[in-house]
């Protein structure tokens, strides 16, 4: 078995850690630690996952290299290295050396060059080599004996690329990576590339013609516009490749790649100083550091708790509050000096005192919505005097919300009870500078805090689910499911577990000899697409597939919806109380949980039967709802400033019909329903990252026809294309997306960045401002409507928000007035260049609205 060698691009990993973790992570002495923590997390995971006999960690030395001689502007375009990164890099090197890990830094030699030369020498000598780097340049070193490990998201996940997986991703051989990068360039290292040649074009050219020489020998076969760019910038392309191709340098001797003994006298004090608890535990045999030696980012201020009376504590204008575990229904209060007292909500006197304090005091807390949901009798100050740690964390890190996100940000678990109340001041002030720097205090005050009150009310109000109707549906589903199992058993002569994909596959393709449609890692697939195709076969071949389709649909509705909602309805006296969470999604969309009432089935007879079970809570009431019409397209018109879209919405035209008219070059009166459908798919598909290939699949047309439609669409709506391009470049430049309301989403924290399909980060950069703006419009409408509804129609109740739709329950004789109020409120969120349109509905069940 080959000996294994792991070569690590230390500089690249440190940069990755720096931009992946919050900038405000710091040790007790103020030393920033985000790059250190990110680097160490990646390093320790890599060492655990790929144990190796040979190890080297490579860093760039200061000063010029051979590339500066080749290209005098090399790296001049790179942004200045942040001071907070400069401080951390030598500490990372010091930590690695203290751990006994081999560290290499050569004057005049770039780390990449030393890594490649060592890897190639090791491979020739019979080693299996892996390179860990965030730099695409090193992909060109991949061969049968050399693989590259690349971080895929944050500092926790990696992708391993060998020859096969590289070809699958890029469509050409690894050795051609330099040619690909020579075309697209590298802004980080100021490698110019060929202006106007992007990722897709470069892949196509390199995949078809190979190296730059092959591309330039075949320029006659290249489209005219691309050919012109390539001819004009020929010298630049070849010069760019020179900068990317590894420069010859001496490899590291294998004997120097051995891990040594850690230098504990240097390592442990440094770990304690920087607050590296996990690393300290690893090298100190699991023993905890002595009191006062552990440094965590925001948990270091010594606070001596002193119990005082509630009256004495309420003399402070600035308090923090946390649920008191020992006092059922009560709270622990604390001030900045460490004085604490309990607030007993069962005591009318305590509540009255705290209510008086709330008229002038400022309160720091965690989870305003949760407090108002579970303790509505707790009198809180006005929102301008509430500081919510949960909201602050979410606004800065929408993809890392919740307790785990806070623990990750502060370098420790969130305390509880009195300890939480004591620490809340420091915890909130840890986030506050960035909240103000990004202008997110305005979003907190004007959207997320007032919304908390409405969502808490919706939780307490609940929605009525008729248990008798649900039970009847459950009985019928049980009967149908049992009948389907019996019918198939009688048909094939044996009992089949229809919930087992393996048994269903054997039944369809081995027993019944039906044609297999596609395979997966377990064998022949039996997914919905396969079953739908098999159900189109002539009788009797279609009989079993159709029964399995019905069985799956009925089983899903029964176990996923009817049974759990029936149980909750019975336990809640007919009411189901869902938690609506506005701090759970990266885009800002509301989420629903315990149970999820936003994810009810919509299509099919059983979906209708299920939704019909949700009714107003008495016979004198009715549901009134309104749904925003094409809100994300309206946001698109606003963000792009595209005059045609803006005018179409102002004129009240059917925007899909108008788009079809523009794309197909026909008067709107001549557009067919099929052409309108095409335009609708294009409108929504393109702004959510759908490629011409995806459009072709969705529309059932040839790819070249879909590509022509895309080109035509962008030719008539050029500002949409410009927005898509600009939003990506601006978000990458900033490091985060930004919505119309100023809500941000850091790209480094998005879990899908190295995920589904091509350019997922580009899709996030384009989609998030649209979805986030639309979501905030709906949220503003929700709490504004609920406030005026409570005032003008006291018996009416807001019960649901499902994406762009708001649903309330009111008396029948008030329905018309409530409907007008709902539409008026939704359309009055006047922040776009185009009018908003809300379409109302009324009904006696959710099925009807």
Q: Which of 493-507, 717-731, 743-757, 816-830 has the lowest mean pLDDT?
A: 743-757
Strand partners, 211: none
What is residue 735's predicted lDDT score, i.e. its pLDDT?
Answer: 82
Assigned token pair, 759: 């350019």
What is residue 301's predicted lDDT score, i.e. its pLDDT?
Answer: 58
Cβ atoms of 805 and 772 within 8 Å: the answer is no
Nearest to 448 by CA among 806, 28, 43, 776: 776
798: which residues sit within 8 A by CB, 6+ positions away?
A: 454, 457, 458, 461, 782, 785, 786, 789, 806, 807, 808
What is residue 753's predicted lDDT score, i.e. its pLDDT?
Answer: 45
Strand partners, 621: 811
Q: How far is the CA of 624 from the CAs of 462, 635, 795, 801, in angstroms? A: 16, 25, 14, 12
How confident is the model over 168-197, as pLDDT tens digits? 899 999 999 999 999 988 766 667 788 888
Instruction: Give the integer Cα–Cα distance in Å for 677 and 669.
Output: 15
Helix, strand, or coil (residue 52): coil
Helix, strand, or coil (residue 837): coil
- pLDDT tops 70 at residue 64: no
Strands 330-335 and 339-344: antiparallel
What is residue 298's predicted lDDT score, i.e. its pLDDT?
Answer: 52
Provide the 8-state DSSP code for 327: S
The values of phi and psi at residue 364, to 5°, are: -105, 135
- Specify the higher pLDDT residue, 761 or 849: 849
Taking residues 1-27, report their average pLDDT: 86
What is residue 700's predicted lDDT score, i.e. its pLDDT?
Answer: 77
Instruction: Give the integer Cα–Cα distance in Å for 781 and 792.
Output: 16
Q: How sure is the predictor about 719, in pLDDT bands with cuts at 50, 70 and 90?
A: very high
Assigned token pair, 348: 């009318």
pTM score: 0.67
Element (H, E) at 80: none
What is residue 184's predicted lDDT score, i.e. its pLDDT?
Answer: 87
Helix, strand, or coil (residue 409): helix
How confident is the model over 511-533, as pLDDT tens digits? 899 998 888 777 899 988 899 99
User: What share of the chain has pLDDT > 90, as a percent?
Assistant: 58
Instruction: Give the CATH number of domain 306-463.
Output: 3.30.420.10
Say what angle helices 673-687 and 631-640 make with each other, to 10 degrees.
60
Helix, strand, or coil (residue 421): helix
- pLDDT tops 80 at residue 268: yes
Token pair 């997966």 in the structure block, residue? 520
Instruction: Give the integer Cα–Cα distance in Å for 211 and 53.
Output: 35
Cβ atoms of 554 and 480 within 8 Å: the answer is yes
Gyration radius of the chain over CA positions: 31
Residue spans of beta strands (DSSP E) within 584-699: 591-593, 621-628
Taking residues 188-208, report their average pLDDT: 83
Strands 146-153 and 128-132: parallel
- pLDDT tops 70 at residue 294: no
Helix, strand, or coil (residue 211): coil
Taking residues 784-800, report their average pLDDT: 97
Show the 3-state SS of 236-300: HHHHHHHHHCCCCCCCCCHHHHCCCCCCHHHHHHHHHHHCCHHHHHHHCCCCCCCCCCCCCCCCC
- Specify the higher pLDDT residue, 310 or 278: 310
- pLDDT tops 60 at residue 300: no
Residue 189: CB atoms within 10 A of its CB come to 20
- pLDDT tops 50 at residue 382: yes
Q: What are the domain boundaries of the chain?
A: 4-254, 306-463, 488-567, 631-771
Over the chain, what is the mean pLDDT?
A: 88
Q: How sure is the predictor about 29, in pLDDT bands with cuts at 50, 70 and 90?
A: low
- pLDDT tops 90 at residue 236: no
Cβ atoms of 439 and 351 within 8 Å: the answer is no
User: What share of the chain has pLDDT > 70, as a percent?
Assistant: 92
Instruction: Give the CATH number of domain 488-567.
Output: 1.20.1060.10
601: which residues sit within 8 A by CB, 6+ positions away?
A: 556, 557, 561, 607, 610, 611
Taking residues 361-367, report their average pLDDT: 97
Taking residues 596-608, report their average pLDDT: 91
Cβ atoms of 136 and 180 within 8 Å: the answer is no
What is residue 67's predicted lDDT score, i.e. its pLDDT?
Answer: 56
- Specify the higher pLDDT residue, 697 or 822: 822
Most confident of 189-203, 397-411, 538-552: 538-552
Instruction: Give the integer Cα–Cα distance in Å for 534 and 540.
Output: 11
Instruction: Give the integer Cα–Cα distance in Å for 698 and 680.
Output: 11
What is residue 345's predicted lDDT score, i.e. its pLDDT?
Answer: 92
375: which residues sit within 8 A by CB, 6+ positions away?
A: 329, 331, 345
The values of phi and psi at residue 344, to 5°, are: -100, 110
Cβ atoms of 302 and 338 within 8 Å: the answer is no
Helix, strand, or coil (residue 306): strand
What is residue 293's predicted lDDT score, i.e. its pLDDT?
Answer: 33
What is residue 196's predicted lDDT score, i.e. its pLDDT?
Answer: 82
Cis peptide before 272 (omega within 30 of 0): no
819: which residues sit within 8 A by CB, 6+ positions away?
A: 624, 626, 840, 842
- Specify the higher pLDDT residue, 217 or 321: 321
- pLDDT tops 50 at residue 806: yes
Sign (positive or negative) of CA dihedral 30, 32, 33, 36: negative
147: which residues sit within 8 A by CB, 6+ positions away?
A: 129, 130, 131, 160, 161, 162
What is residue 359's predicted lDDT score, i.e. its pLDDT?
Answer: 96
Provide the 8-state DSSP code for 191: B
The values of phi and psi at residue 319, to 5°, are: -125, 160
Question: DSSP letters along 684-735, please?
Answer: HHHHTT--HHHHHHHHT--HHHHHHHHHHHHHHSHHHHHHHHHHHHHHHHHT
- pLDDT tops 80 at residue 506: yes
What is residue 292's predicted lDDT score, i.e. its pLDDT?
Answer: 30
Q: How sure is the predictor about 286, in pLDDT bands with cuts at 50, 70 and 90?
A: very low
Instruction: Give the CATH number of domain 4-254.
Output: 3.40.50.1010
Nearest to 403 by CA among 386, 421, 390, 391: 390
How confident is the model over 99-127, as pLDDT tens digits? 999 999 888 888 999 999 999 999 999 99
- pLDDT tops 90 at residue 578: yes
**Spatial strand order in the sheet of 318-323:** 306-307, 339-344, 330-335, 318-323, 362-365, 386-388
What is residue 751's predicted lDDT score, i.e. its pLDDT?
Answer: 60
Taking residues 84-97, report their average pLDDT: 91
Instruction: Give the CATH number of domain 631-771.
Output: 1.10.150.20
């Amino acid at each position: 078995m080959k000996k294994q060698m792991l070569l690590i691009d230390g500089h690249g990993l440190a940069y990755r850690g720096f931009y992946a973790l919050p900038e405000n992570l710091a040790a007790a002495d103020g030393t920033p630690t985000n790059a250190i923590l990110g680097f160490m997390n990646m390093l320790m995971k890599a060492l655990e996952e790929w144990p190796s006999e040979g190890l080297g960690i490579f860093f760039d030395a200061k000063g010029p290299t051979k590339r500066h001689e080749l290209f005098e502007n090399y790296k001049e375009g790179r942004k200045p290295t942040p001071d907070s990164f400069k401080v951390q890099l030598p500490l990372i090197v010091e930590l690695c050396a203290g751990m006994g890990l081999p560290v290499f830094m050569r004057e005049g030699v770039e780390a990449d060059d030393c890594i490649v030369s060592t890897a190639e020498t090791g491979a020739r000598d019979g080693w299996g080599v892996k390179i860990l780097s965030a730099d695409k340049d090193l992909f060109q070193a991949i061969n049968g004996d050399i693989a590259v490990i690349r971080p895929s998201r944050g500092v926790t996940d990696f992708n391993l690329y060998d020859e096969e997986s590289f070809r699958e991703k890029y469509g050409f051989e690894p050795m051609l990576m330099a040619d690909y990068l020579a075309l697209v360039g590298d802004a980080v290292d100021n490698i110019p590339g060929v202006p106007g040649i992007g990722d897709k074009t470069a892949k196509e050219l390199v995949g078809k013609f190979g190296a730059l020489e092959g591309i330039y020998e075949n320029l006659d076969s290249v489209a005219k516009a691309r050919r012109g760019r390539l001819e004009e910038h020929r010298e630049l392309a070849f010069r760019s490749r020179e900068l990317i191709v590894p420069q010859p340098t001496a490899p590291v001797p294998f004997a120097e790649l051995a891990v040594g003994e850690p230098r504990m006298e240097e390592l442990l004090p440094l770990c304690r100083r920087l607050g590296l608890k996990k690393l300290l535990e690893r090298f100190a045999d699991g023993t905890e550091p002595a009191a006062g030696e552990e440094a965590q980012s925001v948990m270091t201020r010594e606070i001596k708790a002193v119990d005082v009376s509630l009256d004495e504590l309420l003399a402070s204008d600035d308090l923090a509050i946390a649920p008191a575990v020992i006092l059922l229904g009560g709270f622990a209060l604390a001030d900045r000096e460490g004085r604490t007292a309990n607030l007993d909500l069962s005591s009318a006197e305590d509540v009255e005192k705290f209510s008086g304090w709330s008229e002038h005091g400022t309160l720091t807390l965690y989870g305003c919505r949760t407090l108002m949901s579970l303790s509505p009798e707790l009198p809180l100050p006005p929102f301008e005097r509430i500081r919510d740690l949960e909201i602050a964390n979410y606004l800065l890190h929408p993809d890392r919300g919740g307790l785990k996100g806070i623990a990750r940000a502060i370098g420790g678990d969130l305390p509880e009870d009195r300890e939480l109340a004591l620490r809340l001041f420091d915890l909130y002030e840890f986030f506050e500078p960035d909240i103000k720097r990004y202008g997110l205090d305005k979003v907190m005050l004007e959207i997320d805090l007032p919304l908390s009150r409405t969502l808490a009310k919706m939780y307490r109000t609940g929605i009525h689910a008729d248990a008798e109707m649900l039970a009847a549906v459950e009985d019928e589903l049980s009967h149908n499911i049992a009948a389907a199992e019996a019918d198939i058993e009688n048909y094939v002569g044996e009992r089949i577990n229809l919930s087992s994909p393996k048994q269903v596959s054997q039944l369809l393709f081995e027993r019944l000899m039906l044609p297999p449609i596609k395979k997966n890692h377990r064998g022949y697939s039996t997914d919905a697409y396969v079953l739908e195709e098999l159900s189109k076969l002539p009788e009797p071949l279609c009989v079993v597939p159709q029964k399995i389709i019905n069985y799956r649909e009925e089983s899903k509705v029964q176990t996923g919806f009817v049974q759990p909602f029936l149980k909750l309805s019975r336990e809640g006296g007919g009411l189901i109380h869902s938690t609506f969470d506005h701090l759970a999604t990266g885009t800002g969309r509301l989420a629903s949980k315990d149970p999820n009432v936003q994810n009810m089935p919509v299509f099919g007879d059983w979906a209708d039967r299920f939704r019909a079970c949700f009714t107003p809570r008495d016979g004198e009431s009715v549901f009134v709802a309104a749904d925003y019409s094409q809100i994300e397209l309206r946001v698109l018109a606003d963000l792009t400033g595209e005059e045609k879209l803006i005018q179409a919405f102002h004129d009240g035209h059917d925007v899909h019909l108008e788009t079809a008219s523009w794309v197909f070059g026909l008067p709107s009166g001549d557009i067919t329903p099929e052409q309108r459908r095409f335009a609708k798919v294009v409108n929504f598909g393109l702004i959510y990252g759908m490629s011409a290939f995806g459009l072709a699949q969705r529309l059932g047309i040839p790819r070249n026809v879909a590509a022509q439609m895309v080109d035509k669409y962008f030719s008539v709506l050029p500002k949409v294309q410009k927005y898509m391009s600009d939003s990506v470049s601006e978000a990458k430049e900033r490091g985060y997306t930004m919505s119309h309301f100023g809500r941000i989403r850091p790209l480094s924290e998005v879990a899908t960045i190295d995920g589904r399909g091509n350019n997922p980060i580009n899709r996030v950069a384009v989609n998030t401002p649209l979805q986030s703006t639309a979501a905030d419009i709906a949220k503003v409408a929700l709490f504004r409507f609920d406030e005026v509804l409570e005032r003008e129609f006291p018996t009416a109740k807001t019960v649901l928000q499902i994406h762009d739709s708001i649903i309330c329950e009111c008396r029948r004789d008030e329905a018309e007035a409530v409907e007008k109020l709902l539409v008026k409120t939704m359309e009055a969120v006047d922040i776009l260049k185009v009018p908003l349109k809300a379409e109302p509905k009324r009904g006696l069940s959710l099925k009807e609205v």
